[in-house]
Each structure stands twice: as structure tokens, then as C-alpha cells.
């Protein structure tokens, strides 16, 4: 890289890093998309969570979360996970059926 100003090298490296990060994020996103599924039936939660991350409607009650973790044999990851990959509209809690429940993700830790 003789004759190339130092600043230009730094700029180039920084550009490459940004590209690299973007590619990683894109790959992670694709991975999540391939493994994220919205489930509306309690009976399907366990099967689907064994394949990836499951999104369900949950009313926010601790008892429902406990029941969910029991049938899924997995952890409720929380409702903070905001992703455009899943439908974020409200629905009925998959456990108690309460309307206006929000989407939460359930997954097994690897
Ligand atoms: Zn509930």
C-alpha cells in the first residue's frame, strides 16, 4: 500500500468493517427469519420450539409464562424483542386466551 495516504487506508478499513458488520447482521436476520415461527396453538409450541424460536401471544401474567415454559420446555425471552420479522399485532394469550396480548418469543438456550 505504498503511496496510499494513511487516512485513506483507515477509511478503507473502516468501510470494509461496516460492510462486514452489515453482512453479519443480514445473515443473523436471515437465520432468525428461517427459525422464527408464530404459533397459535399450545399443542404446537413444544414441537416448534425444538426447531427454532417461537413467537406467541402472551398476556404478561407470570402464571401464563410459567405454564408456557413448562409446555415449551424453554424460556420466555420477553416482549422487548422487537423485530419486523414477526407480526406484532395483538392477539389472545396462548395460555389463558386474554385478548390484547402482546407477542413474546420463546426459545431454548443453546
Ligand atoms: Zn395469559
| Residue range 59-89, pLDDT digits in tens | 999 999 999 999 999 999 877 666 676 777 8
Distance 32 CA to ligand 1 centre (A): 25
Q: What is the pLDDT of residue 110?
A: 56
**What distance in Å separates the CA atoms of residue 93 and residue 59, rounded to the nearest whole number?**
5
Q: Is residue 45 situated within a structural domain?
A: yes
Q: What is the pLDDT of residue 1?
A: 52
CATH number of the domain bearing residue 57: 3.30.110.30
Distance 64 CA to ligand 1 centre (A): 5
Q: What are phi and psi of 72, to 5 degrees?
A: -85, -20
Number of structural domains (the chain) is: 1
| Residue range 29-61, pLDDT digits in tens | 787 778 888 999 999 999 999 988 899 999 999
Query: Is pTM, for the whole model, over 0.85?
Result: no
Distance 85 CA to ligand 1 centre (A): 23
Distance 62 CA to ligand 1 centre (A): 8
CB of 72 closer than 8 Å to CB of 60: no
**What distance in Å separates the CA atoms of residue 32 and residue 52, rounded to the nearest whole number?**
8
Q: Is residue 43 situated within a structural domain?
A: yes
Distance 52 CA to ligand 1 centre (A): 22
Q: Is residue 1 situated within a structural domain?
A: no
Domain assignment of residue 41, given as a range: 6-107
Distance 49 CA to ligand 1 centre (A): 19
Confidence band for 21, pLDDT divided at 50, 70 and 90: confident
Q: What is the pLDDT of residue 43?
A: 95
Distance 8 CA to ligand 1 centre (A): 57
Q: What is the pLDDT of residue 82?
A: 61
Amino acid at each position: 500500500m505504498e503511496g496510499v495516504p494513511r487516512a485513506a487506508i483507515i477509511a478503507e478499513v473502516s468501510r470494509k468493517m461496516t460492510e462486514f458488520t452489515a453482512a453479519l447482521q443480514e445473515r443473523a436476520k436471515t437465520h432468525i427469519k428461517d427459525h422464527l415461527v408464530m404459533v397459535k396453538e399450545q399443542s404446537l409450541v413444544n414441537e416448534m420450539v425444538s426447531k427454532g424460536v417461537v413467537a406467541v401471544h402472551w398476556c404478561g401474567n407470570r402464571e401464563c409464562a410459567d405454564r408456557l415454559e413448562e409446555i415449551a420446555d424453554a424460556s420466555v425471552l420477553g416482549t422487548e424483542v422487537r423485530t419486523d420479522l414477526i407480526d406484532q399485532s395483538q392477539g389472545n394469550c396462548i395460555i389463558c386466551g386474554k385478548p390484547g396480548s402482546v407477542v413474546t418469543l420463546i426459545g431454548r438456550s443453546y
